[in-house]
Chains A and B, each alone.
Chain A
């Protein structure tokens, strides 16, 4: 069953003469337990696609259904609630809060108003499972890039979301750390994962690999996996 269903998504960025259509009728279904990688050149609209799919940004037209809820008709408040319960974001720059330790960063979403119960327990388990316990009390600037990204992944998973969206998750990591992070993302049981990246290596191991070209998603030639709808 599809966790995420996107139909006919269009999005223009910029205004006036600078306006540019970056998503032109994009459609994408992602099932639970499925990892979809989206490749594209810099500026092709990959991040925009990710933000639209996760309810951080609104499309100009089209429909997105996440875990049975229509994101495109939701208010800002309802969108925030949907993100809290159903979406986990992983960013290229990790975006850990500098004043909080790694563990506190992980647990923060679980302590937001409206978060499902059990988040704290899950967060501590994730810290252990990801091998972060020895550095759990360290501040972000005391951590390596790989550790920071693993904390960011734990943070994305702490509320047990159905959908994980990763934006260039290995972009700021060395090859070894990047491999660890990708392995983690590819092995998230029961979750739909969308990874956008410009590095073909990062797409390896995904169930499906798509390419965003001229605002449209097309199957990546030669890639392993199922075809796009």
Chain B
């Protein structure tokens, strides 16, 4: 082994620049892989992990305050109940701590039994007064530590004894701040209530497969309980969590491509290196070196580069990903994977080391297996590799750029692999940029939520014709919206929205089941409402209007709406007005493409209206959207670096194989500019087909596929626009220029004489 180590040390020193480039490639691939692993593992299993840790109940029931005994009686009547606990929830509580304050806090006063939340630090509240457990999202946002005081208006200061996570709702700042007090502690301080009231019950089933039957039974046996809302585990998965799922899918796919890129590049690099060293291998074989020794030297030399590079890459990837991932998880009230990530990361590290080692050892093994005489004559590993075709541009002017393109085209296998890698990376970057733009739109553009109108005007319905006459207005119609209740005594609040004609002209949330409403007796319901009431196309929606009239409509379809957690129903205006002639009305205004909203608003004001802009996602979704966007952009940057690496590596390999060609050119008088032109040809030969491939793949495959994946929660047009295509092309161009400058610098360092003597 000592002899091998000596050879390795000498070889690495002689080829230190190439080793550095290889190391950079391994580092990038390992970083990409570990980033994707951290995000995928953290976010992908976040909910399941959180549900397990929190012992999340199978059903959470919210209702108007009721006697605890009465609630318990109803729950005991349900089948298959393993356990239950009750609590009281107080909303809009004023809290203060650490210089922060919020008046929308939710106080959960928990009774005995399973808590339904996970203590992630400290301990749970005891029966003593003066203790509080706060949600970890709140603790993180307000920089709270165990032992700090949380001032609760009406209760007084409470010592923080623990931090909790419960994935039944999003955490602060996506949701309201949440904290937990013990009922026993409150009783100890304020005296025991002889008839304690509760408004939340958590139910664990013996067999969760019986959930549907239990829900049906719960709906029918909940008489006497008002305002009942049933939430199941699956219903807890908020819609924006699906967006995180798409990001995860993208990251996993990207990491696979990054790994493939690295593998292809490293294999090509190793092959070129072995090709270059064939005579030396031949000499070694001729003087008696064993095949095993030569393979070991190659493998160990590669391992010496790969081990530190992969370690740096994995650590860097974890450091890059863990911050945004933990922030996102805290917002979603889900715990990070923690030590569960160790083994996947070790696996990623091992893969990052083994691929380059194998890529180096395999061609060495093949080469060393040849007769020494053949090796001494410099025969290629897989034949000549040169182009046997007559040049097709023979009659045209063949400049250096064309020559560069020909040099890169001569290695068709590598060209195909590099173009595939760059093209796919380009497609992914385009997709990421398109998705980031779409997420911005989700935040700010009502259109992304299915809203087709841009303005509302507080005007009577009769004024719709006058509004339509305003320049820049494409369509205007009365829009009615009332807060109704589910009339099956469940008290589910429903936003009922109605238009006199086709509502999809103004609001077209994506249809996830059934079809659009047709006729007076039909309704489209939001997914949140369908989930809460168990509605499907064909079932009956019975709603109690504020006027006291009941409206019964057949559900024609289920739509996905982010507004009001999907508890919406679109009904025909005629049906609504028959039941509630006094329903509040306004005029929804859809503008011509490119129309100026300010100008139309001014015209509406002149008509006596108070115009308002239609809103995008609710404000509480903004931090999540921003975090997702940051992750996407970070991944796009890493992907860009992979592209740069692929370009530099391919240029370097092309030049390494054509050292003599470059030397001949330089001997005939080519200066640095001419070498750069040659390399520009190499880069153009790679970038042009890659860009075309990337744009086509994004337009025809990835964009539509992701749009279909996303259509269950929002209308996202994921086709890259001119701006994104321009940005990516500019990025490729910059990467290409960087590659040309870097590699030409390397090429010019070598003396012409050395290049002429190259094998």
Nearest A residue to B676 via CB reads A113
Nearest A residue to B754 via CB reads A57
Q: Is B251 an interface residue (CB 8 A)?
A: no
Residues 109-140 of chain A: 1 if any B CB is under 8 Å from the residue's CB, otherwise 0? 10111110000000000000000000001110
Is B403 within 8 A of A57, CB to CB?
A: no
Contacts of A81 in B (CB 8 A): 669, 671
Q: Tell me the complex Cα distance, A83–B752, Å.
A: 12
Residues 643-678 of chain B: 1 if any A CB is under 8 Å from the residue's CB, otherwise 0? 000000000000000001100111111111110010
Contacts of A111 in B (CB 8 A): 397-400
Q: How far is the CB of B677 from chain A (nearest CB, A)?
A: 7
Contacts of B156 in A (CB 8 A): none
Q: Is A80 an interface residue (CB 8 A)?
A: yes
Q: How far is the CB of A139 from chain B (nearest CB, A)?
A: 6
Majority DSSP secondary structure for residues of B touching A: helix
Q: Is A41 an interface residue (CB 8 A)?
A: no
Is A57 within 8 A of B669, CB to CB?
A: no
Q: Is B407 an interface residue (CB 8 A)?
A: yes
Is A80 within 8 A of B403, CB to CB?
A: no
Is B394 within 8 A of A101, CB to CB?
A: yes
Task: Scan residues 99-141 of chain B and give those whose CB is less than 8 A from a CB of chain A.
Answer: none
A-B contact count (CB 8 A): 110
Residues 390-403 of chain B: 1 if any A CB is under 8 Å from the residue's CB, otherwise 0? 11001001111001
Nearest A residue to B669 via CB reads A84
Q: Is A155 an interface residue (CB 8 A)?
A: yes
Nearest A residue to B660 via CB reads A95
Which of these, A85, A95, A100, contacts B398 with CB under 8 Å?
A100
Which of these, B394, B406, B748, contacts A76 with CB under 8 Å?
B748
Residues 367-390 of chain B: 1 if any A CB is under 8 Å from the residue's CB, otherwise 0? 000000000000000000011111
- Given contact pairs A113-B674, A141-B388, A100 touches B406 in the complex (Cβ within 8 A): yes
Is A112 within 8 A of B400, CB to CB?
A: yes
Nearest A residue to B673 via CB reads A113
Q: Is B470 an interface residue (CB 8 A)?
A: no
Is A77 within 8 A of B672, CB to CB?
A: yes
Is B669 within 8 A of A112, CB to CB?
A: yes
Q: Tell me the complex Cα distance, A98–B403, Å.
A: 10
Which of these, A89, A103, A113, contacts B394 with CB under 8 Å?
A103
Q: Tell me the complex Cα distance, A109–B674, Å.
A: 10
How many residues of chain A have a CB within 8 Å of chain B? 39
Contacts of A109 in B (CB 8 A): 668-669
Contacts of A107 in B (CB 8 A): 398
Is B387 within 8 A of A108, CB to CB?
A: no
Nearest A residue to B396 via CB reads A104
Q: Is B234 an interface residue (CB 8 A)?
A: no
Nearest A residue to B398 via CB reads A104
Task: Scan residues 6-21 of chain A and give those whose CB is less than 8 A from a CB of chain B.
Answer: none
Nearest A residue to B389 via CB reads A139
Q: Tell me the complex Cα distance, A139–B394, Å.
A: 10
Is B670 within 8 A of A112, CB to CB?
A: yes
Which of these, A51, A84, A100, A137, contacts B670 with CB under 8 Å?
A84
Q: Is A72 an interface residue (CB 8 A)?
A: no
Q: Tell me the complex Cα distance, A51–B406, Å.
A: 29
Is A97 within 8 A of B661, CB to CB?
A: yes
Is A108 within 8 A of B398, CB to CB?
A: yes
Nearest B residue to A83 via CB reads B669
Q: Is B751 an interface residue (CB 8 A)?
A: yes
Is A112 within 8 A of B674, CB to CB?
A: yes
Contacts of B391 in A (CB 8 A): 99-101, 104, 137, 139
Q: Is A148 an interface residue (CB 8 A)?
A: no
Which of these, B403, B674, B748, B753, contacts A56 with CB under 8 Å?
B753
Q: Is B410 an interface residue (CB 8 A)?
A: yes
Contacts of A100 in B (CB 8 A): 391, 398, 403, 406
Q: How far is the CB of A140 from chain B (nearest CB, A)?
A: 9
Q: Is A91 an interface residue (CB 8 A)?
A: yes
Is A98 within 8 A of B394, CB to CB?
A: no
Q: Tell me the complex Cα distance, A87–B661, Å.
A: 18
Q: Is B756 an interface residue (CB 8 A)?
A: yes
Is B669 within 8 A of A114, CB to CB?
A: yes
Nearest A residue to B671 via CB reads A80
Is A137 within 8 A of B756, CB to CB?
A: no
- Given contact pairs A108-B398, A112-B669, A137 touches B390 in the complex (Cβ within 8 A): yes
Task: Scan residues 148-207 of chain A and give those whose CB is less than 8 A from a CB of chain B.
Answer: 155-156, 159
Q: Tell me the complex Cα distance, A89–B388, Å.
A: 26
Nearest A residue to B748 via CB reads A76
Nearest B residue to A58 via CB reads B751
Contacts of B387 in A (CB 8 A): 98-99, 139
Is B403 within 8 A of A99, CB to CB?
A: yes
Contacts of A76 in B (CB 8 A): 671-672, 748
Contacts of B748 in A (CB 8 A): 76
Most chain A CB within 10 A, of B388, B667, B674, is at: B667
- Given contact pairs A80-B669, A84-B669, A57 touches B406 in the complex (Cβ within 8 A): no
Most chain B CB within 10 A, of A54, A84, A99, A100, is at: A99
Is A104 within 8 A of B667, CB to CB?
A: no
Contacts of A108 in B (CB 8 A): 398, 400, 403, 665, 668
Q: Tell me the complex Cα distance, A83–B397, Å.
A: 22
Is A89 within 8 A of B398, CB to CB?
A: no
Residues 24-63 of chain A: 1 if any B CB is under 8 Å from the residue's CB, otherwise 0? 0000000000000000000000000001001011000000
Which of these, B386, B398, B664, B670, contacts A80 with CB under 8 Å?
B670
Is B403 within 8 A of A84, CB to CB?
A: no
Most chain A CB within 10 A, of B388, B661, B670, is at: B670
- Given contact pairs A56-B752, A100-B406, A77 touches B671 in the complex (Cβ within 8 A): yes
Q: How far is the CB of B619 from chain A (nearest CB, A)?
A: 59
Nearest B residue to A138 via CB reads B390
Which of these, B660, B664, B666, B669, contacts A115 with CB under 8 Å?
B669
Q: Tell me the complex Cα distance, A107–B133, Å.
A: 82
Contacts of B660 in A (CB 8 A): 95
Nearest B residue to A110 via CB reads B668
Contacts of A98 in B (CB 8 A): 386-387, 410, 661
Q: Tell me the complex Cα distance, A189–B73, Å.
A: 117
Q: Tell me the complex Cα distance, A137–B390, Å.
A: 8
Task: Scan residues 1-32 of chain B and give those whose CB is less than 8 A from a CB of chain A.
Answer: none
Residues 747-759 of chain B: 1 if any A CB is under 8 Å from the residue's CB, otherwise 0? 0100111001000
Q: How far is the CB of B660 from chain A (nearest CB, A)?
A: 6
Nearest B residue to A87 via CB reads B669
Nearest A residue to B675 via CB reads A80
Q: How far is the CB of A106 from chain B (nearest CB, A)?
A: 11
Contacts of B756 in A (CB 8 A): 56, 91, 95
Contacts of A89 in B (CB 8 A): 667-668
Contacts of A137 in B (CB 8 A): 390-391, 394
- For the complex of A and B, the 6 pairs showing the least CB-CB separation, nearest first, are A84-B669, A80-B671, A109-B668, A99-B406, A83-B669, A95-B664
Can you sample 25 A-B contacts with CB below 8 Å? A54-B667, A56-B752, A57-B751, A80-B669, A80-B670, A82-B669, A89-B668, A95-B660, A95-B756, A97-B661, A97-B664, A98-B387, A101-B390, A104-B398, A108-B398, A111-B399, A111-B400, A112-B400, A112-B670, A112-B674, A113-B671, A114-B669, A114-B671, A138-B390, A141-B386
A-B contact sample (7 more), CB < 8 A, given A56-B667, A89-B668, A104-B394: A80-B666, A82-B669, A84-B668, A95-B756, A97-B664, A99-B403, A103-B394
Chain B positions within 8 Å of A, measured between CB atoms, are: 386-391, 394, 397-400, 403, 406-407, 410, 660-661, 664-674, 677, 748, 751-753, 756
